[in-house]
């Protein structure tokens, strides 16, 4: 198996890693309230997904726990 004969410099390793970066998630708009949500998930503001109410919204859950 091939092994490197010499150590690569720090700059050379950094040049190779320049394209390893995080990408922003694709966001879509909620059809019910217009808030930005992750696709294929219930809206965290109103709790709707595909025009159906699935669960109580996160903001209502937080208020009821206090």
* Spatial CB neighbours of 30, under 8 Å, sequence gap ≥ 6: 36, 37, 43, 45, 46, 48
Tell me: the pLDDT tens digits for 10-64?
Answer: 999 999 999 999 988 899 999 889 999 999 999 888 888 888 888 665 555 555 5
- pTM of the predicted structure, to 2 decimals: 0.52
Domain ranges for the chain: 28-66
What are 57's two structure tokens?
């919204």
């Amino acid at each position: 198996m091939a092994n490197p004969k010499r150590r690569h410099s720090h700059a050379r390793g950094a040049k190779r890693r320049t394209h390893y970066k995080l990408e922003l998630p694709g966001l879509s708009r909620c059809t019910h309230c217009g808030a930005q949500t992750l696709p294929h998930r219930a809206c965290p503001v109103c709790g709707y997904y595909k025009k159906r109410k699935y669960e109580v919204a996160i903001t209502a859950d937080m208020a009821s726990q206090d």
